[in-house]
Amino acid sequence: MEVALPKDLQQEASLAKRRSTELCRQGRIFNARNRIIGGDTQAWDVQVHDQKIRQATEKARHESFAAEMRHNDKVSCILHDRERRDRKQLCRAINDFQQNFQKPETRREFDLSDPLALKKDLPARVSDSDMRNTISGMQKFMGEDLNFRERKRFQEEQNREWSLQQHREGERALASHRLAEDLYTQTRLKFDETARDLQKLEGLTRKEVCAAMKEFNKNQIAELAERKRQARQQEQEDNLTEITNLLHGDLLSENPQQAASSFGPHRVVPDRWKGMSREQLEEIRYIQKQQIQEKLRLQEEECQRSMDWDRRRIQKARASLLHERQQQRLQRELRKALDCNNLSLARQQYLQRKQTDAASISQPTEDYFSQFNTRSR
């Protein structure tokens, strides 16, 4: 039968107390509400008391450790001297063995330290479809293919062909416009010549008609003179009667109501209408002047609009040309900056890869990551 010693009971009590303290601490820490919002004053007092006890214990333990360390330092100095002598002898023996039996050319890992390894090694990229160029290798970026110069030259040649094609189309359109203007001018000249011939023919015909009319008029004058003499007397009598009627009628009184039509106020009787009044004629002339001025203004606006469109088209073409040149200049500058940046990044990545390969000798396992966030400490 085992008997529990006082020292064992004290250790068990201390372990139980620490377990309970740890459970309470885990409950406080893993509870987000109490950890962020509230504070446990009692726990803080217990922590202060425990810290004082721990400090006293640590102080006593450090003193014992200091005495033991002084003794261990003396032993370690003696052992260190002995180990240094043994290591020196071992290094001397290893060097002798390596110089005699392990020359660099006979080693299996000689290719790792071969000074001519870079000259013997393949380049970083043989072609654009090289299987060694992985994404993490960062040996190929957008626009850095091996046929970049040929592709850029082809694009410049294509842009030049497009510009020449646009220039040829413009010249073709201008030639067509000039040809149409020439045809229109020739047609106008032909029409003018035909009109001039017709005018001459009409003049000759008019002269012949005038001669015939003169002869006919001479014969008619004699007949008309007799009829006029006979009709003059009758006409004088009729005129006297008509003058009498007109003096007493609405015609000379200029009554506008006499020309009013029964079909509406906008219609008149032609045989009674004496014409428009002075105000109506002035109003019509004023409207005609306004129409003439409006037509002149529209023609001037159309001409100004055409000039504005031509000026805008020229300005837009000039601005597009300047913008294209500026874009090309910016692309060249960005390409230079990107090349410099890529070169510096490649150097940094190469150095970082060497440091990482030298530092990462062993890879951590899942057990290493699973030990975190399991306790309150």
Condensed to tens digits (0 to 9), the pLDDT of residues 66-102 reads 988 888 888 989 998 999 999 999 999 988 888 888 7
Q: Which residues of 200-230 are buried (b: 16+ CB within 10 A; e: fewer)?
A: eeeeeeeeeeeeeeeeeeeeeeeeeeeeeee
DSSP letters, 147-193, are THHHHHHHHHHHHHHHHHHHHHHHHHHHHHHHHHHHHHHHHHHHHHH
**Is the model's pLDDT at 7 over the cut of 70?**
no
Nearest CA-CA partner of 376 in 43, 55, 61: 43
Q: What is the pLDDT of residue 33?
A: 64
Torsion on CA atoms 275, 278, 281, 282, rounded to nearest 10 = 180
Reported pTM:
0.23
Residue type, 31: N
Q: What is the pLDDT of residues 254-302, one digit of tens each?
A: 666 666 666 766 677 777 666 677 787 888 899 999 999 999 999 999 9
Q: What is the pLDDT of residue 1?
A: 45
Q: What is the pLDDT of residue 22?
A: 85
> Which tokens sit at 249?
């009628």
Q: What is the pLDDT of residue 134?
A: 73
Q: What is the pLDDT of residues 107-131, one digit of tens each?
A: 777 777 777 777 777 777 777 677 7
Tokens 């109506």 — which residue?
280
Tell me the C-alpha distance between 59 and 52, whole Å. 10
Torsion sign (Cα): 244, 246, 249, 252:
negative
Look at residue 268 and give its three-state secondary structure.
Answer: strand
Q: What is the pLDDT of residues 336-357, one digit of tens each?
A: 999 999 899 899 888 888 877 7
Question: How large a percentage of the chain has pLDDT more than 90?
Answer: 16
Q: What is the pLDDT of residue 288?
A: 92
